[in-house]
Amino acid sequence: MTEANSLNSVLRKRLEESETMLAETGCYDGITTLECRDMDPLKFETIHMKLRAGCVSAREIARRISASPGVREVGEMVAAIYTPEGDAVAISNGIMVHVHTMSRFIKWMIRNDYEHDPGINPGDIFANNDAFIGTVQVPDVMDVVPIFHEGELVGWAGAVCHELEAGGITPGGDVALAQERFGEGLFICAEKIGLNDRIRRDYVIRCERNLRMPIYWILDEQAKVAACFSMRDRVLELIDEIGVDFYKRISKEFIEEGRRTQLARVRQLTVPGTYRSNTFYGHVTKGKPGFQPLGDPDWLYSIPLKMDIELDGKIVVDFEGAQPWGYHSMNCTPAGMDGGMFVTLTQHMNFEGLVNDGAWLATQLKLPRGTWTNPDSEFCATATSWALLLPAYGAFQRMLSRGFLARGFLEEVFVGQVNSPMIEMGGISQYGKPFGIAHFECAAAGSGALAIKDGLDTAYVGWNPESDMGNIEIWELDMPMVYLGRSILPNSGGAGKYRGGNAFMSTWVINKSPEVRIVTSEHSSRVFDNAGMCGGYPAPTCQKHRVVRNSNIYQRVEQRRPLAHSTGLDQNDLEQFYQGNQQIIEGPHIAAPMKEGDIFTHSYNGGGGYGDPLERDPVLVLDDIIQGHSSQIHGERVHGIRFKGTIDDETLEIDFSQTQKTRKRLRTERLQDAVPVMEWYESEKDKVKQGDFSPEVLKMYRAAMDLSEEFAQEFRAFWQLENGFAYPQNEQVDLSNE
């Protein structure tokens, strides 16, 4: 056995010992007292701040090396420092989803005997984008380097970038059409991609030959490795300053402190008890080209969540009753589920103090085997797992927010994140070269409302707390499409006393290219995949794509005639302005390539509302109409506002007296139109027993009941169905793609 192997055998034993200590003492690595903190709290904080500064600085270095607008403009990156066992000590800002997914990657290598083969040595560089090892989806490629001090492994530095092109069956990073792992693109499975601080040339060649746009991936590798080296230097400088033994001790205390802080924060901000929520996602691909007949082209998932807040402050989130994994790209691994939980917690619980893996240790996810949250086949695809993750963790945010509300912290109540439909594309660029890219302006959806104000318009996504849509001009440099407009989508936030944040839509003309294949993902067109809270409504479903093939836009430009810059309030401006083959496409845009002169629109999601819409301040409604955030009809129908004057001649104002009367009348009408819940229940029971649902709904119930006896029992108990009740396997779900 070589000296290095001997050293690394100790590492695996150390990991097991650390886990045993956690189980036995309840404290990270058996750290029951925070000696370093108690000895000198100021020094404790200062040292952590130095490490965190090292991570933030490393991320900024990387952003300046990267060629990818996703990393440079939108900041799709995170950097972190880990213990030798792979637990995060300090992290940068950015896509904090990956702090714990990288932790899983490091631990996977340790558990899989990397100490013996391929060895863990100074100067090594390891990479991974396999979600079953530790990431969320194929484009999330992570690099880690070991940090050695005088021959001893003292930690790891790691960085993740979301790649804009992954070489899959469809162009871009979120490979929407992948129905199995084998269509998702280039996999790097915990691979040693570099030695002696250099990335291997054969690895670079593999990337060059398997990606549509290798410059993004390869320069991102250089960027991440530079970030890792920068963090490694910082750690070694710090060790020179404080001594290696003190560093090893304090880095573990940081994690234990993080664990304790998380528990304390839960006890401070919430109320113990059992919280429940659910959300849904509907997928529509029937008739679209490229679909493989492995699973249903159209399907519906229910996503039930139960959260227990225990008296010690531990959060336990249970996905019992979730749907089975399927032949689509929206499955998720436990690593991805961890990632969703972690990034959500950093926004709601760990926004100050020592943010690290300690928070993760204070929570528990129950992910039933065989569901999309924990597939029992590693062949399944996870390329667009955010489609389900975002609705799920939006529901988690609403449950947490119920706790904030109950505790009196109204300023923290948040209706939650929403889905962020992605555009991926590839073909021939405006420079006449092959290209592929993911368009990341999606990092700016509408947010859910707060309990005290409206949600953010076009400024929030759950997966990157520093949401940013990026500059139009930068995107235009990287794709053969010219923006005709980026516009607020009126009425796209959910209604409420405080409305959800509005979404935006973009409209492009394909320019200087004979072939652009555009594929979009993460659309839930048949069900709302978000929700409101306390009387607020879900945001509308994402507006369908409008396309004009063979448009006459260039003639209009030559004739200096006006252009449509969006679909307009009635969604028909493109038809009115342009001649050509007009198309309305529901769900993901999976279609034949487009070309110069074709027009394409893509819309994003708004957030859910909070509170009864009839309680919305009429002045806010008027302001929304004037600003183009909502329509007058919306104000009248949904908020019961009565107006005087008109918007066109700028005389629109509120008739307060009539508004008050109208709202009173609408409340009375509500009561007249409604029925007691128990009356409704009795009338529904037969329908449920008969399974009088659409085939997709019936299939959803049957799948959940087959997979989860607990869900089945709750369903039967709720509807008073006999023991053992199950829906027969005779519904006619059309599996063909006709």
Partner 1 sequence: MNNRQREEYRLLLDGQLPWPQTKNLMSSYKDRDRFFKILEIYQDKVEWDEKILLPIGEHLFIVQKGKQRIVKCSCGHEFGDYRKNWKFQAVLRVRNTVEDLEGIYPHADVCDPSWMEIREFICPGCGTLLEVEACSPGYPITFDFCPDLEGFYSQWLNHPL
Query: Residue 736 burial (CB < 10 Å; 0-12/13-18/19+)?
Result: exposed
406 lies in the binding site for partner 1 (CB under 8 A): yes
Residues written for the chain? 738
Range 425-464, binding partner 1 (CB under 8 A): 451-453
Which part of the chain contacts partner 1 (CB under 8 A), choosing from 22-30, 418-426, 506-514, 626-634? Answer: 626-634
Residue selected from 236, 383, 495, 518 as contacting partner 1 according to rule CB under 8 A:
495
Dihedrals phi, psi of 363, to nearest 5 degrees = -130, 165
Residue pair 504/564 in contact (Cβ under 8 Å)? The answer is no
Q: What does the CA dihedral 79, 84, 89, 90 come to, rounded to 10 degrees?
A: -20
Helix, strand, or coil (residue 695)? helix
DSSP letter, residue 412? G
Which part of the chain contacts partner 1 (CB under 8 A), choosing from 39-47, 143-151, 471-479, 609-617? Answer: 609-617
Helix, strand, or coil (residue 43)? helix
- State whether the Cα torsion 713-716-718-722 is positive or negative: negative
Other C-beta atoms lying within 10 Å of the C-beta of residue 666? 15
In terms of CB distance, is 307 or 332 closer to partner 1?
Answer: 307
Which part of the chain contacts partner 1 (CB under 8 A), choosing from 161-169, 247-255, 275-283, 360-368? Answer: 275-283
Range 254-273, binding partner 1 (CB under 8 A): 267-269, 271-273
Q: How far is the CB of 568 from partner 1 (least distance, A)?
A: 9
Q: How far is the CB of 542 from partner 1 (least distance, A)?
A: 7
671 lies in the binding site for partner 1 (CB under 8 A): yes
Residue pair 171/139 in contact (Cβ under 8 Å)? The answer is no
Range 299-318, binding partner 1 (CB under 8 A): 300, 302, 309, 311
Tokens of residue 661, six digits: 């009367």
Which part of the chain contacts partner 1 (CB under 8 A), choosing from 377-385, 417-425, 474-482, 664-672? Answer: 664-672
Range 540-569, binding partner 1 (CB under 8 A): 540-544, 569
Residue selected from 1, 53, 592, 674 as contacting partner 1 according to rule CB under 8 A:
674
Distance separating alpha carbons of residues 448 and 457, to the nearest angstrom: 9
Other C-beta atoms lying within 10 Å of the C-beta of residue 24? 9
In terms of CB distance, is 237 or 617 closer to partner 1?
Answer: 617
In terms of CB distance, is 83 or 302 closer to partner 1?
Answer: 302
677 lies in the binding site for partner 1 (CB under 8 A): yes
572 lies in the binding site for partner 1 (CB under 8 A): no
HSE of 149 in the Cβ direction (CA atoms, 13 Å)? Answer: 20
Cα 269 to Cα 27, 29, 97, 262, 688: the distances in Å are 22, 27, 22, 11, 39
Residue selected from 259, 402, 602, 629 as contacting partner 1 according to rule CB under 8 A:
402
Distance separating alpha carbons of residues 583 and 595, to the nearest angstrom: 15
Residue selected from 104, 224, 288, 634 as contacting partner 1 according to rule CB under 8 A:
634
Beta 363-366 vs 315-318: how paired, if at all? parallel
Cβ neighbors of 381 (< 8 A, separation 6 or more) are 175, 178, 179, 180, 181, 183, 184, 327, 328, 329, 331
In terms of CB distance, is 53 or 633 closer to partner 1?
Answer: 633
In terms of CB distance, is 356 or 492 closer to partner 1?
Answer: 492
Residue 263's nearest CA partner among 334, 172, 181, 359 is 359
Q: How far is the CB of 594 from partner 1 (least distance, A)?
A: 22
Residue selected from 35, 376, 411, 734 as contacting partner 1 according to rule CB under 8 A:
411
Range 498-527, binding partner 1 (CB under 8 A): 498, 525-527
701 lies in the binding site for partner 1 (CB under 8 A): yes
Tokens of residue 231, six digits: 């963090």
In terms of CB distance, is 305 or 591 closer to partner 1?
Answer: 305
- What track of x and - describes contact with partner 1 for positions 338 through 357 (by CB under 8 A)? --------------------
- What track of x and - describes contact with partner 1 for positions 381 through 400 (by CB under 8 A)? ------------------x-
Cα 454 to Cα 166, 407, 613, 635: the distances in Å are 37, 21, 12, 15
H helices present in 92-213, as ranges: 98-111, 131-134, 201-210
Which part of the chain contacts partner 1 (CB under 8 A), choosing from 39-47, 88-96, 249-257, 676-684? Answer: 676-684
Distance separating alpha carbons of residues 451 and 123, to the nearest angstrom: 51
Q: How far is the CB of 456 from partner 1 (least distance, A)?
A: 12
44 lies in the binding site for partner 1 (CB under 8 A): no
Other C-beta atoms lying within 10 Å of the C-beta of residue 680? 11
Other C-beta atoms lying within 10 Å of the C-beta of residue 201? 8
Residue selected from 648, 673, 722, 738 as contacting partner 1 according to rule CB under 8 A:
673
Residue pair 91/58 in contact (Cβ under 8 Å)? The answer is no
Range 706-725, binding partner 1 (CB under 8 A): 714-715, 718-719
Q: How far is the CB of 90 from partner 1 (least distance, A)?
A: 21
320 lies in the binding site for partner 1 (CB under 8 A): no
In terms of CB distance, is 144 or 621 closer to partner 1?
Answer: 621
In terms of CB distance, is 427 or 493 closer to partner 1?
Answer: 493
Q: How far is the CB of 406 from partner 1 (least distance, A)?
A: 5
- Please work out the total of residues on this chain that contact partner 1, with binding judged by CB under 8 A: 93
In terms of CB distance, is 172 or 540 closer to partner 1?
Answer: 540
Dihedrals phi, psi of 197, to nearest 5 degrees = 65, 20
In terms of CB distance, is 205 or 584 closer to partner 1?
Answer: 584
Residue pair 225/232 in contact (Cβ under 8 Å)? The answer is no
668 lies in the binding site for partner 1 (CB under 8 A): yes
In terms of CB distance, is 247 or 280 closer to partner 1?
Answer: 280
Residue selected from 562, 676, 724, 728 as contacting partner 1 according to rule CB under 8 A:
676
Residue 143's nearest CA partner among 161, 166, 126 is 126
Residue selected from 612, 655, 710, 731 as contacting partner 1 according to rule CB under 8 A:
612
47 lies in the binding site for partner 1 (CB under 8 A): no
In terms of CB distance, is 241 or 684 closer to partner 1?
Answer: 684
